[in-house]
Amino acid sequence: MLTTELSNGIAMPRLGFGVFQIPDLNLCEEAVISALTCGYRLLDTASAYENEAAVGRAILRSGVARKEIFLTTKLWVQDYGYESTKEAFYRSLERLQTDYLDLYLIHQPYSDIHGSWRAMEDLYREGVIKAIGVSNFSSAQLADLITFNHIAPMVNQVETHPFCQQNHAAEFMQQHHIAIEAWAPFAEGKNEIFTQPLLTTIAQRHQKTVAQVILRWLLQRNIVVIPKSVNPQRIAENFAVFDFSLTEQDMKEISTLDLGKPLIANHADPERIKFIGTRRFAT
Ligand code: NAP
């Protein structure tokens, strides 16, 4: 398994499996089992996805040893702050039926992120989390967290796909030894990505699918990626990306698709911040 070495020396699988927008818990459980059977060893959930329990059941049912799996979940905004972060963390562990996490992320870059970060630093020092990180943080927000705390985030999970390539953000993260993890690698199907002409041409060149080309393009940029699917055939397709390479020319061509801004979630939009503040989940 191709891995990315985090700043604390932990090896994180470069390709994983995401479970956002699978509210049907049986479907989620089956999808995770399908992914683990295929060979995926990184799982990405969140308390806000309300399917941690299904992920926990799938891990137990899969027969794959817990220590072979790199398990990530995320803290939701309603639980930010020092004490409530610790409480939310232990509730996530209980739902996931595990006694540690490989990676815990602050899901959104608002509200009391410093209080939460200090709780996560303490949980990390206690050894119940192997790596700590954030999601949807801009370079300025990363700098804020780094400057006013002891431990720098090891991962930042951000929207990254051919239409939003995150080149500047990735440069900052690289300079600060923060691994970049791509969410929505397929732009959640937006902009007709699966039939985009340039990606289709490159896919035909390699006798691969557009989805496989996109994943390969991210892996070759040293970006961790977590595609989501509930379809066993597509789950397998998305894992079959280690038997070909994109050329420098392919990489250069794909770089022309960048629109330089998010397509799904603009975290700098004041309306979005207000919206996030209203979202409450059974965490
Ligand atoms: P995505 O992976 O970009 O796209 C998922 C969509 O693509 C689904 O509709 C899926 O349909 C389809 N699909 C998957 N494989 C395909 C293939 N080979 N061919 C054609 N269609 C395919 O979107 P995402 O789920 O939003 O992002 C991935 C993961 O990132 C999430 O599951 C979650 O873990 C994480 N995420 C994090 C954040 C954050 O704020 N941190 C936000 C969003 C997502 P089927 O299921 O029917 O195959």
Q: Of 24, 27, 138, 186, which is best to mutate to test ligand 1, by the most ligand atoms within 8 angstroms of its C-beta?
A: 186
Q: Is the pLDDT of residue 117 over 90?
A: yes
Helices 232-239, 210-220: inter-axial angle, 10-degree rounding: 40
pLDDT digits (tens, 9 = 90+) for 131-150: 999 999 999 999 999 999 99
- 11-13 and 3-5 beta bridge pairing: antiparallel
Which atom of ligand 1 is nearest the CA belonging to 183? Answer: 30
d(CA 280, CA 92): 15
Q: What's the CA-to-centroid distance between 188 and ligand 1, angstroms?
A: 5
Average pLDDT, the chain: 98
Percent of the chain with pLDDT over 70: 100
pLDDT range class, residue 190, cuts 50, 70, 90: very high
The ligand 1 atom at the shortest distance from the C-alpha of residue 31 is 46
Atom of ligand 1 nearest to the CA of 185: 3
Cα-to-centroid distance, 17 and ligand 1 (Å) = 9
Ligand 1 and 135: CB distance under 6 A? yes
From the list 49, 80, 104, 124, the catalytic residue is 49
Ligand 1: residue of 72, 229, 230, 235 to mutate (most ligand atoms within 8 A of CB) is 229
Report the nearest-CA residue for atom 46 of ligand 1: 229
Identify the helix (H) or strand (E) that includes residue 71: strand 70-75
The predicted model gives 185-203 an average pLDDT of: 98
Nearest atom (ligand 1) to Cα of 107: 41
Predicted local distance difference test score (pLDDT) of residue 167: 97
- Phi first, then psi: give them for residue 104, nearest 5 degrees: -120, 130
CA distances 28 to 7, 10, 104, 231, 268, Å, are: 31, 27, 20, 11, 31
Cβ 156 under 6 angstroms from ligand 1:
no
- pLDDT tier at 46 (50, 70, 90 boundaries)? very high
- Average pLDDT of the segment spanning 78-95: 98
Nearest-CA neighbor of 74 among 36, 113, 40, 38? Answer: 113
With a 6 A CB cut-off, is 231 part of the ligand 1 pocket? yes
**Residue 178: CB within 6 Å of ligand 1?**
no
Q: Give the atom of ligand 1 at the shortest distance from the alpha carbon of 231.
A: 48
The pLDDT value given to residue 76: 98
Convert the pLDDT of each residue in 49-68 to its tens digit.
Answer: 999 999 999 999 999 999 99
The per-residue pLDDT for 217 is 98
Q: How is residue 88 written in tokens?
A: 């939310």
For residues 181-185, give the mean pLDDT: 98
Is residue 49 annotated as a catalytic residue, yes or no? Answer: yes
Provide the pLDDT for residue 157: 98
184 C-alpha to ligand 1 centroid (Å): 5
Region for residue 189 given its phi and psi (left: phi exceeds 0; alpha: psi -120 to 50; beta: otherwise): left
Which stretch of DSSP H or E encloses residue 61?
A: helix 52-62
DSSP 128-146: SEEEEEEES--HHHHHHHH
CA of 270 from ligand 1 middle (Å) equals 25
283: confidence class by pLDDT, cuts 50, 70, 90: confident
